[in-house]
Structure 1
Amino acid sequence: MTPATSQPAPRTAAQIARTPRGPRPVPDLGVQPPYRLPPMVDTVLPNGLRVVCVRQPSTSMTEVRLRIPCVPRRPEDLATAEVTAATLLRGGAGRDHWETDTLLARSGATLDAVRSPMWLNLIGSAPGGGLSVLLNVLTDALADPRREAAEVESAKNRLTERIRVVRAQPQVFAQEALRTHCYRDDPAVRDTPEPAALAAVTAGGVADFHRRTLTPTGSSLVLVGDLDPERTAAEVAALTGWWRGGAADWEPIRVPELRPEPIVLVDRPGAVQSQIRLVAPGPARTDPAFGAVSLANLVFGGYFSSRLVTNIRETKGYAYRTDSRFEDVKDTLRLAVEADSATGYTAPALREIRAELARLADGPLPDAEVESARRFLLGMSMISLASQATLATNLSSTLGFGLPPQWLTDFPEAVRTVRREEVEAAARRWFDPAAFTGVVVGDREALAPALAELGEVCDVNAVGAVGAVGAVGAIGSVSAVDELARRAG
Structure 2
Amino acid sequence: MEFHPQPQPGLPSPWDFPAPERGQLPNGLTVLRCHRPGQQVVAVEVVLDAPLDAEPEGLDGVATIMARAFSEGTDKLSAEDFTAELERCGATLDAHADHPGVRVSLEVPASRLPKALGLLADALRAPAFPDNEVERLVLNRLDEIPHELANPARRAAMALAAELFPAGTRMSRPRQGSQETVERIDAAAVRAFYEAHVRPAAATVVVVGDFTGVDLDHALAESLGAWTGGPAEPRPMPAISTEDAGRVVIVDRPGAVQTQLLLGRVGTDRHDRAWPAQVLGTYCLGGTLTSRLDRVLREEKGYTYGVRAFCQALRSAPDGTGLGMVAVSGSVDTPNTGPALEDLWGVLRTLAAEGLTEAERDVAVQNLVGVAPLKYETAAAVAGTFADQVEQYLPDDYQAGLYERLAETGTVEATAAVVNAFPADRLVTVLVGDAAEIAEPVKALGIGPVTVVSA
Give the TM-score of the pair, scaled to structure 2.
0.89
2:130 to 129, 144, 148: 148
Q: Distance in 1 between matches of 2:201 and 2:84?
A: 31
In structure 1, what is the equivalent of residue 319 of structure 2?
none
In structure 2, what is the equivalent of residue 60 of structure 1?
40
Distance 1:232-1:258 versus aligned 2 partners, 3 A rule: farther
SS in structure 2 of the partner of residue 382 of structure 1: helix
1:102 to 71, 77, 84: 84
Does the CA contact (< 8 Å) of 1:282 and 1:334 recur in 2?
A: yes
1:383 to 370, 374, 387: 374
Distance 1:257-1:106 versus aligned 2 partners, 3 A rule: same
1:200-279 pair list within 5 angstroms: 200-227=184-211, 231-241=215-225, 242-247=227-232, 251-279=236-264
Deviation for aligned residue 1:424: 2.8
In structure 2, what is the equivalent of residue 447 of structure 1?
438
Aligned pair 1:347/2:338, yes or no? yes
In structure 1, what is the equivalent of residue 416 of structure 2?
425
In structure 1, what is the equivalent of residue 107 of structure 2?
125
- The unaligned stretches of length 5 or more in structure 2 are 1-7, 317-322
In structure 1, what is the equivalent of residue 49 of structure 2?
69
SS in structure 1 of the partner of residue 60 of structure 2: helix
Does the CA contact (< 8 Å) of 2:55 and 2:63 recur in 1?
A: no
In structure 2, what is the equivalent of residue 170 of structure 1?
152
Does the CA contact (< 8 Å) of 2:312 and 2:325 recur in 1?
A: yes
Q: Distance in 1 between matches of 2:34 and 2:166?
A: 43
Distance 1:352-1:233 versus aligned 2 partners, 3 A rule: farther
Aligned CA-pair RMSD:
2.5
Residue identity matched to 1:408: Q
Map Cα deviations across residues 36-77 of structure 1 (whole Å, 9 max, x no partner): 244642113343322111111223221111111222343444
Q: Distance in 2 between matches of 1:270 and 1:356?
A: 29
Does the CA contact (< 8 Å) of 2:310 and 2:328 recur in 1?
A: yes
Q: Distance in 2 between matches of 1:196 and 1:436?
A: 30
Q: Distance in 1 between matches of 2:223 and 2:73?
A: 18
Does the CA contact (< 8 Å) of 2:67 and 2:104 recur in 1?
A: no
**Which segment is superposed worse, 144-153 or 171-180?**
144-153
Residue identity matched to 1:363: E
Q: Matched residue pairs, number?
A: 437
In structure 2, what is the equivalent of residue 459 of structure 1?
449
Residue identity matched to 2:346: A
In structure 2, what is the equivalent of residue 475 of structure 1?
none
2:120 to 135, 138, 160: 138
Deviation for aligned residue 1:363: 2.4
Deviation for aligned residue 1:186: 2.8
Tell which structure's C-alpha radius of gyration is larger: 1
Deviation for aligned residue 1:129: 2.3
Aligned pair 1:409/2:400, yes or no? yes
Does the CA contact (< 8 Å) of 1:53 and 1:229 recur in 2?
A: no
Aligned pair 1:115/2:97, yes or no? yes
Aligned pair 1:157/2:139, yes or no? yes
In structure 1, what is the equivalent of residue 454 of structure 2?
471
Aligned pair 1:194/2:178, yes or no? yes
SS in structure 1 of the partner of residue 201 of structure 2: coil
SS in structure 1 of the partner of residue 344 of structure 2: helix
1:332-343 pair list within 5 angstroms: 332-343=323-334
Aligned pair 1:324/2:309, yes or no? yes
Aligned pair 1:91/2:81, yes or no? no
Map Cα deviations across residues 299-358 of structure 1 (whole Å, 9 max, x no partner): 111112100011101221112231000133334111111121111111111111111111
Deviation for aligned residue 1:105: 0.9
Deviation for aligned residue 1:256: 2.8
**Which segment is superposed worse, 265-274 or 170-179?**
265-274
Distance 1:423-1:34 versus aligned 2 partners, 3 A rule: farther
Does the CA contact (< 8 Å) of 2:46 and 2:205 recur in 1?
A: yes
Distance 1:184-1:343 versus aligned 2 partners, 3 A rule: farther
In structure 2, what is the equivalent of residue 82 of structure 1?
64
Does the CA contact (< 8 Å) of 2:50 and 2:63 recur in 1?
A: yes
Q: Distance in 1 between matches of 2:351 and 2:10?
A: 29
1:310 to 295, 316, 332: 295
Distance 1:39-1:313 versus aligned 2 partners, 3 A rule: closer
In structure 2, what is the equivalent of residue 185 of structure 1?
167
In structure 1, what is the equivalent of residue 390 of structure 2?
399
Q: Distance in 2 between matches of 1:40 and 1:450?
A: 53
Deviation for aligned residue 1:79: 3.2
Distance 1:98-1:268 versus aligned 2 partners, 3 A rule: same
Distance 1:197-1:281 versus aligned 2 partners, 3 A rule: closer
